[in-house]
């Protein structure tokens, strides 16, 4: 089938019962940080494919993806069982416009993700571009439980490389975890507790915001931010909000 290439799994990292990452050796075409490709497995004689954001940055091998095995989900519950040496289909060419070349310049770049929706932000943050174009980069990951906060080694690496220009804020909604905010991103935008915790103000003049993951988080955040003068970023009418819904 056109554009499908075979990759070989080098690692399946099980972070929790449902959260996992795959590292895959695959000869994919060059992509932009923030883009997604499709992964697929042949299940019951049918090729089952879904889109997944690259967590690895352009040029890195093996390529890496971060998954949640969705309740009853066909593909994610098959991918979680893969082991080193197993084969998986990937679309050779990536897709999508959730990339920095769609984002206008500003002082601060805010990257807001729920669950595995942080994946494209790790890809973006480990390229030079955000650091050439923005003074501050703020990464926010909202998860249900503390154990869902993964890739903390990459957070440490970004802190070491970029110092105070990089800020990370976690939300944990279903238990109390020291050092994290409780609740959800939209309510912390409404009462400005996210800005207080990060130490930077969100303003349409100074901030570009990328939002990724749970469509409810994306919609509720946009609604609140529109009331504060933020607008969706469109090619013909540049704004401040760039989004990717995972379902």
Ligand X SMILES: NC(=O)c1ccc[n+]([C@@H]2O[C@H](COP(=O)([O-])OP(=O)(O)OC[C@H]3O[C@@H](n4cnc5c(N)ncnc54)[C@H](OP(=O)(O)O)[C@@H]3O)[C@@H](O)[C@H]2O)c1
Contact segment (CB under 6 A) with ligand FAD among 61-69, 130-138, 178-186, 218-226 equals 61-69
- For ligand FAD, which residue of 12, 21, 53, 221 counts as binding (CB under 6 A)? 53
Encoded tokens for 26? 């695959």
List the x/- string, 55-94, binding to ligand X by CB under 6 A.
-------------x-xx-----------------------
Pair 233, 102: CB distance under 8 Å: yes
Encoded tokens for 67? 């998954």
CB of 168 to ligand X, least distance (A): 16
Strands of the sheet with 87-91, listed across from one edge = 46-53, 36-43, 87-91, 4-14, 19-25, 63-68
- For ligand FAD, which residue of 20, 31, 68, 166 counts as binding (CB under 6 A)? 68
Is 214 among the residues that bind ligand X (CB under 6 A)?
Answer: yes
Encoded tokens for 58? 């352009």
Q: How many CB atoms lie within 10 A of CB 224?
A: 15
Gyration radius from the chain CA atoms: 18
Helix (H, G, I), strand (E, B) or coil at 175: coil
> Which residue number, 34 or 186, has a Cβ lying nearer to ligand FAD?
34
- For ligand X, which residue of 37, 114, 136, 233 counts as binding (CB under 6 A)? 114
Question: Rounded to whole angstroms, how far apart are CA atoms 112 and 98?
Answer: 13
Question: Rounded to whole angstroms, how far apart are CA atoms 220 and 36?
Answer: 24
Contact segment (CB under 6 A) with ligand FAD among 65-73, 82-90, 171-179, 221-229 equals 65-73
Question: Of ligand FAD, ligand X, none, which one sits near residue 59, judging by CB under 5 to 8 A according to partner kind?
Answer: none
CB of 49 to ligand X, least distance (A): 19
Binding site for ligand FAD (CB under 6 A): 36, 50-53, 65-68, 70, 73-77, 115-116, 119, 244, 246-247
């Amino acid at each position: 089938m056109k554009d499908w290439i075979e990759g070989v799994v080098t690692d399946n990292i099980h972070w929790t019962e449902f959260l996992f990452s795959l590292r895959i050796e695959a000869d994919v075409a060059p992509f932009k940080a923030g883009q997604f490709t499709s992964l697929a497995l042949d299940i019951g004689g049918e090729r089952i494919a879904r889109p997944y954001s690259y967590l690895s940055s352009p040029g890195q091998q093996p390529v890496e993806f971060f998954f949640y095995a969705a309740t009853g989900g066909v593909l994610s519950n098959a991918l979680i069982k893969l082991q080193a040496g197993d084969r998986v289909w990937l679309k050779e060419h990536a897709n999508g416009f959730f990339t920095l070349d769609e984002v206008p310049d500003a002082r601060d770049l805010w990257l807001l993700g729920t669950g595995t929706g942080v994946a494209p932000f790790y890809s973006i943050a480990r390229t030079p571009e955000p650091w050439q174009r923005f003074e501050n980069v703020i990464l926010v990951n909202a998860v249900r439980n503390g154990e869902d906060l993964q890739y903390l080694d990459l957070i440490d690496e970004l802190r070491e490389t970029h110092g105070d220009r990089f800020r990370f804020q976690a939300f944990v909604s279903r238990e109390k975890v020291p050092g994290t905010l409780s609740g959800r991103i939209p309510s912390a935008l409404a009462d400005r507790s996210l800005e207080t915790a990060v130490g930077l103000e969100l303003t349409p003049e100074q901030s570009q915001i990328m939002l990724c993951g749970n469509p409810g988080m994306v919609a509720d955040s946009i609604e609140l931010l529109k009331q504060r003068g933020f607008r969706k970023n469109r090619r013909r009418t540049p704004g401040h909000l760039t989004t990717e819904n995972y379902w």
